Amino acid sequence: MPIITASKTQPTYDVIVVGSGAGGGQTAYTLVMEGVKVLMLEAGRNYDPVKETPMFQTNGQAPLRGTSTPDKPFGFHDSTVDGGWQVPGEPYTSASNAPERQFWWWRARMLGGRTNHWGRIALRNGPYDFKPYSRDGLGLDWPISYEDVAPYYDKVEMLIGVYGANTGMENTPDSPAGCLLPPPKARAGELLSQARGKKLGIPVVPIRRAVLSVKQDADNIPAKLHPKNPTAQRILAQAMRERAACFWATPCGRGCSIKANYQSTTVHLPPALATGNLDILPNAMVREITMDENGKATGVICIDKITGEERTLKARVVVLAASSAESVRILLNSKSTRYPDGLANSSGLVGKYIMDTVGARLGGQIPLLENLPAHNEDGAGGNHVYVPWWLYKDASKLGFARGYHIELGGGRQMPGMGAAGGVDALTGGSYGKQFKEDARRYYGSFMGFAGRGEMIPNEDSFCDIDPKVRDKWGIPVLRFHWKWSDHETKQAAHMQRTFADLIEAMGGKVRGKRDATGAQAIEPGGKIIHEVGGTIMGADPKKSVTNQWCQTWDVKNLFVTDGGPFVSNADKNPTLTIMALAWRASDYLLGEMKKGNL
């Protein structure tokens, strides 16, 4: 069962999975390894990073020297194809014209979705993150605890390969032995940040990222992940042996042809396809879910984006993993006499409580990093260290709830556009021999700090269907309503103060203007590309859309395994938790199928 065209689909499947990214990839992988016949629908084109990744091209070989453009916001070589915050023919709208009320919706219309592009930061939510309301009376509690998800964090880390270290820090869970790969060494600027941060009481520790710092243990991990399943063990062992360890040379955002970093297209889908139980249909834009007279899902209606032809596809179970907002769109567009407000929406909460990560940044120039000997600091294509939230005990003094982590950037990596990375701003402009000397002096002396913080869900942040606008296939589009609360803007202001303190402690000077209020520093909603919520899970059908197994309350054979069921959005990047919850939900789904309940 391979990547197919619409005419090659089977009359019916056990499960249809909508989406091929972190949630969809993990769901399909878990199911097909146990013999379930799955059809995966992807709204974008097929994508093979082994053949398509421009890993070894310099920016000088790219149009406009690789700089960002409206259709390639992260630069020409970024792996995202047919995607971005704006996708031609696929609009979305905003309920307000105010700049601070805008939401930026990122989509990646390609096999593997955003997993091809993401930063690979793979942090576990901690115990506090599942029970935030119980701690401070704000937001909502999850109907599950850290202990419920921890075994699935273990499994995902071993499957995808995550480097990092156990730090023993508060609400920053350690992993059992055998889960993590060794972290790479810190680079020069990171070491300086660590030393000077320590004087400020700011801990700079190894980060966790889904990159193979060494080869995976293909001899032992498969048996841990798939006990009593020799076929799955054999297939996974072979897939793991085909992955090479990172050789610290190219940006991960380009994708990875040697499969050293996690992408659904290199980690989940190859072994899933090798089982013979998975069909993948690209260019399939799902419009709605079909239902029978008994209130069960029977499949989906999708549009072939190449031919424009409409098709109805059938399965015993439907799993939405199209991204949290896209899954909401499908549910709200699945209207009928029986479901006039959209499917799985008896609570009225489909589309409500959407969240993104709080983001703010500040940079500086560090004289101590000038004139370093020539050396390569590309490293693992991203962060080697970070700062977990360290002020839990000071929460009552901060003036805002929750917290953030800090990501550090800089070093002597592949140069981008501009006059040698901002040298002109320091020199006032130079030319010829002097310019070359200035470039060598200052190259690698710039560092940037970015905060990634928790947003508390609020009733003013939601999405619904625009009553007038449709996409090029005639499908009604989403309309976003957005508002940051004072907790988030004050958090962004605290980020700015912290970054300035770190830069100055390193002997550097802040570049740009620090925002004391946070209102200007905070990134627009959606800009961090961590949107979650919209189909929140809960213990009460009247107050949630899904139960603890990501199963919709209203339709028992309909599940959501992307970020939609998130009840809160901790400062930890959501991808690892999406996969852990998807694996947990898939195990439950398998059990229910075996019992004859689905």
For residue 439, the model assigns a pLDDT of: 87
pLDDT higher than threshold 60 for residue 331: yes
Question: Where are the domains positioned within the chain?
Answer: 170-206+358-453+485-521
Please return the burial class of 85, using the count of CB atoms within 10 Å of its CB with bins 0-12, 13-18 and 19+.
Answer: middle
Please return the burial class of 551, using the count of CB atoms within 10 Å of its CB with bins 0-12, 13-18 and 19+.
Answer: buried
pLDDT higher than threshold 50 for residue 87: yes
In percent, the amount of the chain with pLDDT more than 70 equals: 99
Put simply, whether the predicted model's pTM sits higher than 0.85 gets the answer yes
Helix (H, G, I), strand (E, B) or coil at 324: helix
Helix (H, G, I), strand (E, B) or coil at 129: helix
For residue 60, the model assigns a pLDDT of: 85
Q: Are 332 and 29 in contact (CB under 8 A)?
A: no
What does the pLDDT average to over 200-214? 98
What does the pLDDT average to over 226-239? 98
> Which pLDDT tens digit goes with each residue over 492-523?
999 999 999 999 999 999 998 889 999 999 99
The pair of structure tokens assigned to 85 is 């915050």
Q: Are 44 and 110 in contact (CB under 8 A)?
A: yes
For residue 416, the model assigns a pLDDT of: 62
> Which pLDDT tens digit goes with each residue over 113-134?
999 999 999 999 999 999 999 9
Average pLDDT taken over every residue of the chain: 95
For residue 420, the model assigns a pLDDT of: 52
Beta-carbon contacts of 477 under 8 Å, excluding residues fewer than 6 positions away, are 90, 91, 92, 93, 329, 465, 466, 469, 470, 471
DSSP-assigned states of every residue in 22-88? HHHHHHHHHHHTTT--EEEE-SSB---HHHH--TT--GGGSGGGG--BTTBTT-TT-S--SEESSBT
CA atoms within 13 A on the CB side of 186: 17
Q: How far apart are CA 300 and CA 322, in angstroms?
A: 13
- Show the DSSP H helices in 213-350 as ranges: 221-225, 230-241, 269-274, 324-333
What does the pLDDT average to over 202-217? 98
How many CB atoms sit inside 10 A of residue 281's CB? 22
What does the pLDDT average to over 275-303? 97
Q: Are 527 and 100 in contact (CB under 8 A)?
A: no
For residue 513, the model assigns a pLDDT of: 87
pLDDT higher than threshold 50 for residue 419: no
Q: What is the band of 140 on the pLDDT scale with cuts at 50, 70, 90?
A: very high
Q: What is the band of 1 on the pLDDT scale with cuts at 50, 70, 90?
A: very low
> Which pLDDT tens digit goes with each residue over 34-77?
999 999 999 999 999 999 998 888 888 889 888 888 889 999 99
pLDDT higher than threshold 60 for residue 283: yes
Q: What is the band of 225 on the pLDDT scale with cuts at 50, 70, 90?
A: very high
Q: Calculate ∠ Cα 270-274-276, nearest 5°.
A: 130
Q: How far apart are CA 172 and CA 162, in angstroms?
A: 15
> Which pLDDT tens digit goes with each residue over 368-379?
999 998 888 889
